[in-house]
Amino acid sequence: MKSLNKILSACIILVLCSTLTACGREELKPLQRTDIAMGTIINQSIYIEEKSSGGSWLGSFGENSVERSNENREETGFTDLTQEVMSLIDSLEKELLSWRLDSSEIYRINQESGKDGGTEVSESLYTMLEHLLEVSGKSNGALDITIGDVVRLWDIDEYASGEKTGFRLPDQKLLTEALKLTGYQKIAIENGRIYLPEGMNLDLGAVGKGAALDTIAEYFVSRPQVTGAVISVGGSILTYGRKPDASDWRVAVIDPLNPSQSIGYLALEGNWCISTSGDYERYVELEGKRYHHIIDPSTGYPADSGVKSVTVLGRDGLMSDALSTACFVLGVQEGIRLAHEFGAEVLFVDENGKITMSEGMMKYYHGN
């Protein structure tokens, strides 16, 4: 829960930034809701178009906007969008991405590693895997979804959340063995099937939040009454459409050296996905040293490129999330090169608090 609290304070900064409006104007209130899912905090602010007759859906909702919307459901024909968003996230995890739940495709793929003929994969997961393998190739394996066994040996998420106590460094022999079972080049995807060497375990933890944003954006497109929204799934944020007063979305960039504060914000028009990977998100400390949750697949140890956080700005959630993890492992120079190859912008904060960003990011970033 300790790390969830940290994420919550980050989310509060985000929401404060995103609901700022021009002075003197009456602020139209979005539907707002906060939940815990995917092991993180989900924050939603959704603007709905004003009802064409019989008054406004907006402005009337106060703090209990979700409850009010439920009360008004029959009267307005309004279905609870925020609940739908939560259901979509839930399904994505249960049906596709979770390595823990036996209902998911990833779970089945891992169970069937080494099987002759491989495992059939749904179209949406297949497309994701194609994109992820491309990022793995272009990042020289800095992003590697075959890292599952190494991640399990560290279990940083469990120690950081307090689920487990008494953290110790993993046994070097076990780590070497687990590393032998990793390597994105050892998997093949072909004609709707995936082939994994026996014993390998996929882990899509690096991109689940970004994939959720893509699903949510697609859902909003099918709901024309949604005129604008900002959704945060942990460190991954979607801005969708526009605000009622047409001002920019403002997404805070957290200070990794002091995560309850921001160092600045991105001012954005329209549809973007912003993903941040940082060593302050999930970590444990042992003998004064921090061990965080992003592993360098070339060593099996938490990445140590001198970077404290990486924020990636792109049009696609899965890719922004994949790139933020890869850039964290690669460090500043190689990270900027990688982001550029995928048409994304990137901002790094190093251990001295120094900010370095891609040229295109300068247009959007405003320091405090």
CB of 317 to ligand ADP, least distance (A): 11
Structure tokens at 226: 């949604």
Is residue 82 part of the contact set for Mg ion (CB under 5 A)? no
The one of Mg ion, ligand ADP, none whose footprint includes residue 254, by CB under 5 to 8 A per kind, is none
Q: How far is the CB of 270 from ligand ADP (least distance, A)?
A: 23
CA 195, CA 185: separation in Å to the nearest integer?
11
Q: Which does 147 bind (CB under 5 to 8 A by kind): Mg ion, ligand ADP, none?
A: ligand ADP
**Residue 320 in the binding site for Mg ion (CB under 5 A):** no
- For residue 57, give every residue at least 6 positions away whose Cβ sits within 8 Å of its Cβ, in sequence order, or none: 48, 49, 50, 51, 72, 76, 78
Between CA 203 and CA 148 the distance in angstroms is 5
Name the residue nearer to ligand ADP (CB basis): 239 or 324: 324
> Is the Cβ of residue 228 or residue 259 nearer to Mg ion in the bound state?
259
175 binds Mg ion (CB under 5 A): no
CA–CA separation, 21 vs 81, rounded Å? 23
Q: How far is the CB of 225 from ligand ADP (least distance, A)?
A: 30
From the list Mg ion, ligand ADP, none, partner contacted by residue 332 (C-beta under 5 to 8 A by kind) = none
Q: C-beta of 346: minimal distance to Mg ion in Å?
A: 12
- Shortest approach of Mg ion to residue 285 CB, angstroms? 22
Q: What pairing do the DSSP bridges indicate for beta strands 355-357 and 301-302?
A: unpaired
Given a contact cutoff of 8 angstroms between Cβ atoms, the answer to whether 349 and 254 are in contact is: no
Q: Which residues are at the interface with ligand ADP (CB under 6 A)?
A: 143-145, 147, 151, 157, 203, 205-206, 209, 234-235, 277, 281-282, 293-295, 297, 321, 324-325, 329
Per CB under 5 A, 281 contacts Mg ion: no
Least distance in Å: CB of 49 to ligand ADP? 32
Contacts 24+ apart (CB under 8 A), 22-25: 22/245, 22/247, 25/245
Burial class of residue 233 (count of CB atoms within 10 Å of its CB; 0-12, 13-18, 19+): buried
Which residue's CB is nearer to ligand ADP, number 93 or number 281? 281
Using the rule CB under 5 A, is 324 a contact of Mg ion?
yes
Q: Which residue is nearest to ligand ADP (CB)?
A: 205
